[in-house]
Every structure is written in structure tokens, then in C-alpha cells.
Amino acid sequence: MKKLYYPTIIEQKQIAQGIFSMKLQCDEIAGTALPGQFINLYCKEHELLLPRPISICETDKQKGTVMLVYAVVGRGTESFSRLQKGDMIKVLGPLGNGFKIEKGVNIHMLVGGGIGVPPLVELSKHLKGEVYAFLGFAHNPILVGKLKNYGAKILVATEDGNVGFKGNVIELLDKKDIKGDMIYSCGPKPMLKAVSEWAKGRGIRAQVSMEERMACGIGVCMGCTRKIKKKGEKDWQNRKVCTDGPVFWSEEVIWDE
Amino acid sequence: MSKPDMKINIAGIELKNPVMTASGTFGSGKEYGEYIDLNKLGAIVVKGVSDTPWKGNDSPRIAETYGGMLNSIGLQNPGVETFIKEDLPFLEQYDTKVIVNIVGRTIEEYCEVAERLGDTNIDMVELNISCPNVKEGGVAFGTDPFMVEEVTKAVKKVAKQPLIVKLSPNVTDIVSIAKAAVNGGADALSLINTLLGMVIDIDRREPVLANIVGGLSGPAIKPVAVRMVYEVAKAVDVPIIGMGGIMDGEDAVEFILAGATGVAVGMANFINPTATIDVLSGIEDYMIKYGFNSIEEIRKGLVISDF
Ligand SMILES: Cc1cc2nc3c(=O)[nH]c(=O)nc-3n(C[C@H](O)[C@H](O)[C@H](O)COP(=O)(O)OP(=O)(O)OC[C@H]3O[C@@H](n4cnc5c(N)ncnc54)[C@H](O)[C@@H]3O)c2cc1C
Ligand SMILES: Cc1cc2nc3c(=O)[nH]c(=O)nc-3n(C[C@H](O)[C@H](O)[C@H](O)COP(=O)(O)O)c2cc1C
Ligand code: FES
């Protein structure tokens, strides 16, 4: 039977302004998680009832650890940031479907925006061939060193030109004009939409990891839907980000709402 | 010490215990079946089913609030035929009762679903005239006693299984609605559905839900739900299934003391996948602690003193 876990936090640190990384000791999740999956984190506060979905940034199967990277944006994530090494946290997962890793794909393009970068880290470890990581940030890059260590060629854009190219990640994609075989993308919705159009224009297949407000995280409540039109279907359907996604083929997403 | 008897009876159907799932919070059982033994439940109440597939509302459909959540799903479901083909065979493997929540935009649509289910071996039908998230049907039927009686009567005529009517709390007088449902032929009542609410994101200055308003559930609504069960139980003779913010066995006992025969667990499933089983053992613990021999005894056990 599946169940909730109560792992211990073995590391918690601030890696940039308002962004934290948290490492959990959880053999069960580390042992089975696939790149692109997420877990539900529960808050200690009783009034914050719903779980917060957070992507798995990295796992270490040998050590049984799971790394998460999250931005403090509200009361739930603020509460997580106050937890310390040795504290326990309630979690459910791994949840959702990860990125599809297909054979015959040689040039991989990771396209991450801000707090969408974390799931690309674990993914990069599983890709064979050339891996380019196009990473866009407002000001402060995160996780660049890790991606580099795992062999990705790093291309960074910051909106204010603090580091790397000055501009957004789409402009960076335009500038470098690398023709990959597959794009894997995670970030804010406008970025995913632009990546999707960019990929379409160049005939590159793209997978996008979407976000939506969730309740159950396991496909029960129908709360987390996005309009998706699968190949061969006449009309779109509201499909669940938690169990049909969070990763979708970009050409299946209905972007204009 | 022997285990207390937890059996209950609703409209001639015996449930092994009073714990059910609240419609829409348990899908058709498959997902939570990976976390709990579904055989242990008194009944599984499945999500709302309509005659043809419904797409539901736009996202965001979920907003968290203090001690609760709002949803504006809009009864997205694949329709009764798909339910019968794909979900029912799964449910039939289990030794628990199956109750199907039905929805419609018109009386005819409700009747069509009830009739179609008449050919199956589900145990009961729950008429949802209380969903606040659809423009037609749903709560439009549930807030006017005349309409409540009409739709109940019409569905009762075609339904082959006992009929539960699920009431909306978004009314000024729940008792008159409950009486109308009973007059229309309801074999049991379930209450409450969600309370209409709204959440605004002040940074963006826009409602969180795409639908603007949505239904509030969770611990935040429990006192309202307990009060409504109490008032309705005094006024009608049919069994009541109580729900609204039940998180543990103690919450469930509160509903039974207020007059409910059965209890349903909703939002709590999202916070704890084993919530239903925990509620069940919590009720049992309470019975042992206070020496109750049956659910019926608890139900009759509320003490109201005159001061
Ligand atoms: C599949 C998935 C993976 C994610 N991975 C990460 C990650 O790796 N790192 C990270 O920092 N964030 C991630 N997010 C976003 C993260 O879930 C939200 O930032 C977080 O829930 C905010 O909670 P809060 O209480 O701080 O904010 P509040 O705004 O106070 O939250 C209120 C409610 O809204 C929900 N909510 C708010 N923002 C979002 C959002 N963007 N997506 C979904 N629900 C939201 C919350 O869960 C909560 O129920 C992910 C979201 C999804 C759906
Ligand atoms: C996500 C969600 C979906 C729901 N869907 C239905 C539904 O399809 N039919 C129905 O009668 N009630 C539906 N409800 C209402 C619940 O069955 C229940 O009446 C209500 O949530 C109060 O119980 P709770 O506080 O334990 O959740 C839904 C509630 C939620 C949270
Ligand atoms: S969060 Fe409940 S179905 Fe996706």
C-alpha cells in the first residue's frame, strides 16, 4: 500500500534571495522517483490544510535522499523555510508523470525559468548525448553549478543582465539558435507558451511541465486541470496536471485562455 | 472487550459502519484504494455523474482558505455510460456499498441518469441538487422547496434504488428544504454540500478562482454543518448522512450526536489519504470509551439541558 511519509530534514539552506533548498532522508521516494515528478509537502500549521506541490530537484538513490528547491511565495512555503535540520515533514509522493526520455534523441535542450529550473537538474542526469541548459532568471541564477557538474552546457540569461545574456530565455534561444532534438521545459506559463511556439517554429518536439493549483495531488478532486488536446482528438479535454501531467507535450496544450 | 457494533441501516440497506466518502472527494475509489482497504468502508459515494460528459469550469478551480478550501470544479465527469463501463466494475470487486451521486441541468437529465443506473447493481442514488458551481441545475434546484420536491418526486419515480437527496446549506431555512425532499419521496438526506464563498488575491486584485465564486468545505464549515444536521434531524424521520469538515472520529461523533446515522469524509481525504479509516477507528474508540453498543445509541445520546 502507498502511504504518507514523515522524513527528516537533513539539510535546509538559503541558496538565493527567497529561495531555499531542502534535503529529505526518504529512501522510499528517492528509490522510485522519476525526473519531473513532484511531491506534496504538508504544512505544520493546522489552518494551512492543503499540501504544497514541489518538484523533485534531485535524488540520491544510494543515500536515500531527496532534494527540493523552493521559492518562498506565501504562507506555506514561508513555513517550510522555518523548518530546520532534524525536523520532520509530512510528504506524499512521488506524484505525477515525469519527462519522457526517448531513445534516439541526441541533442537535448533544457529550458528553465526561475523556480522552474529544479526538476531539470535530476532530468539532466538521465540524458545521454549533448545537453544544453538554457536558464532564464530575473536577477540571481540558481542551480547553474549543479547542472554544469552533470555535464550540461550552460547558457544563462538574466532580465537585468546581472549574469550572462541580458534578456529573457527566448531571446537567448533565438540568439544561440541551436537545433536540438527535444526540448524539456519548466517555468512560468508565459515562458512555456513562448517556448512552445519557438519549438514549433523550428520543428523541435517539446515537453512542458505545467503548474496548477491542486488539492489531492493524486487525481481525485479534478481541481488541477488544464485544457489539453491529444493527438487525434477533435476537441480539448480538461486534464489533470497532477496525474495526466505535470509534463505534457507542448503541442497538446491549449495556451490561449 | 468485544468490538462495538457499528452497523447502520439506511432505507433498508445495511452498511457495516457509518463511514462513507463525500462525493467528489474520492473519485470512484481507485486512487485511494492504493492507500486504504476499501472493504473497510461503510459505503463509497462516487463523484457526481451526468447523462453526457461535462467539461467543468476553467482553472484555477481550487483556493485555500483558513481551515478549508474552495472548489469550483463544476462537476467535470465523463458521463454515466463511461462511469458504468470503466468505474463500476472496479467498485463491484469490493465488499462495500456503492452510492452514485447524480447531477443534471434539467429534471429530465437527472431522471435519465437515475434510470440508466437502475440497470446496474449500485446500492443507492444520491441526488445532488446542491452543487454551487454550475449555472443551471445543481443548486438552482436545491434552494427552492417547490423545485426540491418536484425533482425528488420525478427521480424517485424512475429510480430503482433507494434515493438520498443531498442538501445545500446555501438557503435561509434548511428545514423547509429537507421537508420538501422528504415529501418528494427521499429515503434519506445527506448534508451539507459546500457553502458558497469567494477568495480575492489582493496583490493581483482578482478572484483566485476562474469561476469567481466556489464552494467552501473543510473544518471551517463544520459548526454550520452540525447545526443543520441537528435542525433537520429534529424535523424529519428519514436517516441523515452528515458531512462538512469531518477530519477525525471525534468530528464524526459530533455529527452522530447531532442526529446523523451515517457520516461522510470529504476534504480530509486530501490531507490524509487514510482519513476515512482513521475516522472509523476514532468512532470505535469513542464507543469503547463511553460504552456505546451501537451507532443508534450515540445518535440518541445528545443531552440538552434546560437552564
Ligand atoms: C507540479 C508542481 C511542481 C512545483 N514545483 C515547485 C518547485 O519545485 N519549487 C517551487 O518553489 N515551487 C513549485 N511549485 C509551486 C508551489 O507549489 C507553490 O509556490 C506553493 O504551493 C505556494 O504555496 P504558499 O503557501 O507559499 O503560497 P500561497 O499563495 O499562500 O498558497 C495558497 C494556495 O495556493 C496554492 N498555490 C500557490 N501558488 C501556486 C502555484 N504556483 N502552483 C500551484 N499551487 C499554488 C498553494 O499550494 C496553496 O494551496 C510547483 C507547483 C506544481 C503544481
Ligand atoms: C473537490 C470537491 C468536489 C466535490 N464534488 C461534489 C460532487 O460531485 N457532488 C456532490 O454532491 N458534492 C461534491 N462535493 C461536496 C462534498 O461531497 C461535501 O459535501 C463537502 O465538501 C463537505 O464535506 P467536507 O467538508 O468534508 O469536504 C465536492 C467537494 C469538493 C471539495
Ligand atoms: S490535484 Fe486533485 S486531481 Fe489533481
Q: Supply φ then ψ for residue A86, to 5 degrees.
A: 100, -20
Whether B131 is catalytic: yes
Cα of A230 vs centre of ligand 2, distance in Å, is 29
Where on the phi/psi map is residue B56: left (φ > 0), alpha (ψ -120 to 50), or beta? left
**What topology is assigned to A107-211 in CATH?**
Rossmann fold (3.40.50)
Q: Note the pLDDT of residue B135.
A: 62
Residues of chain A predicted below pLDDT 70? 257
d(CA A241, CA A96): 8
Task: Flag whether residue B22 sits within 8 Å of chain A, measured between CB atoms.
Answer: no
Which residue does chain A place closest to B247, by CA atoms?
A: A49
Q: In 3-state terms, what secondary structure has residue A14?
A: strand
**In chain A, what residues touch B269 (CB-CB under 8 Å)?**
216, 220
For ligand 2, say whether the CB of B193 is within 6 Å of any of its atoms: yes
The residue whose C-alpha atom lies closest to atom 26 belonging to ligand 1 is A74
Q: Count other C-beta atoms under 10 Å from residue A161's C-beta.
A: 11
Which residue does chain B place closest to A46, by CA atoms?
A: B67
Question: Which sequence spans correspond to the domains of chain A?
Answer: 3-95, 107-211
Tell me: the pLDDT tens digits for B52-77?
Answer: 999 999 999 999 999 999 999 999 99
In this structure, the dihedral spanned by the alpha carbons of residues B268, B274, B280 and B284, taken in order and rounded to 10 degrees, is -120
Sequential DSSP letters for A148-204: HHTTPEEEEEETTSSSSEES-HHHHHHHH----SEEEEES-HHHHHHHHHHHHHHT-
* Domain A3-95 classification at class level: mainly beta
Q: What is the ipTM of this complex?
A: 0.93
**Rg of chain A's alpha carbons, rounded to an integer?**
18
Sequential DSSP letters for B53-77: -B--PPSP-EEEETTEEEE-----B
For ligand 2, say whether the CB of B16 is within 6 Å of any of its atoms: no
Average pLDDT estimate for B99-124 = 95
Question: Taking a C-beta distance cutoff of 8 angstroms, is the pair B247, B269 a contact?
Answer: no
Nearest Cα residue to A212 out of A94, A2, A5, A38? A38
Q: Count other C-beta atoms under 10 Å from residue B135's C-beta.
A: 11
What architecture does CATH give domain B8-56+74-194+217-299?
Alpha-Beta Barrel (3.20)
Question: Taking a C-beta distance cutoff of 8 angstroms, is the pair A104, A31 a contact?
Answer: no
Q: Note the pLDDT of residue B140.
A: 72
**In chain A, what residues touch B68 (CB-CB under 8 Å)?**
49
Confidence label for B289 from pLDDT (cuts 50, 70 and 90): very high
Atom of ligand 3 nearest to the CA of A240: 4
Residue type, A109: M
Task: Flag whether residue B63 sits within 8 Å of chain A, measured between CB atoms.
Answer: yes
Confidence label for B141 from pLDDT (cuts 50, 70 and 90): confident
Task: Flag whether residue B223 sits within 8 Å of chain A, measured between CB atoms.
Answer: no
Question: Taking a C-beta distance cutoff of 8 angstroms, is the pair B222, B245 a contact?
Answer: yes
The whole-angstrom distance between B265's CA and the closest CA on chain A is: 13
Tell me: the pLDDT tens digits for B27-50?
Answer: 999 999 999 999 999 999 999 999
Question: Taking a C-beta distance cutoff of 8 angstroms, is the pair A217, A40 a contact?
Answer: yes
- List b or e across B193-217, with b for residues whose CB sees 16 or more CB atoms inside 10 angstroms: bbbbbebeeeeeeebbbebeebbbb
Q: What rounded mean pLDDT belongs to chain A?
A: 96
Pocket test for ligand 1, best of A68, A73, A92, A207 (most atoms within 8 A of CB): A73
Q: Note the pLDDT of residue B137.
A: 60
Q: Note the pLDDT of residue B65.
A: 95
Instruction: Collect all residues with Cβ–Cβ distance below 8 Å to A177 and sequence separation of at least 6.
Output: none
Q: Which of B32, B66, B73 sits opposite A222 (nearest CB)?
A: B73
Residue type, B82: T
- Is there a shared CATH topology between the A3-95 domain and the A107-211 domain? no
Please say if the pLDDT value at position B134 is more than 70.
Answer: no
For ligand 2, say whether the CB of B243 is within 6 Å of any of its atoms: yes
Q: Which of A47, A219, A223 sits opposite B62 (nearest CB)?
A: A223
Cis peptide, bond prior to residue B60, ω within 30 of zero: yes
Q: Note the pLDDT of residue B138.
A: 62
Q: What rounded mean pLDDT belongs to chain B?
A: 95
Tell me: the pLDDT tens digits for A78-124?
Answer: 999 999 999 999 999 999 999 999 999 999 999 999 999 999 999 99
Nearest Cα residue to B263 out of B289, B236, B239? B239
pTM: 0.95
For ligand 1, say whether the CB of A107 is within 6 Å of any of its atoms: no
Q: Supply φ then ψ for residue A164, to 5 degrees.
A: 70, -150
In this structure, the dihedral spanned by the alpha carbons of residues B242, B248, B251 and B252, taken in order and rounded to 10 degrees, is 40
Question: Which sequence spans correspond to the domains of chain B?
Answer: 8-56+74-194+217-299
Greatest Cα pair distance in chain B: 59
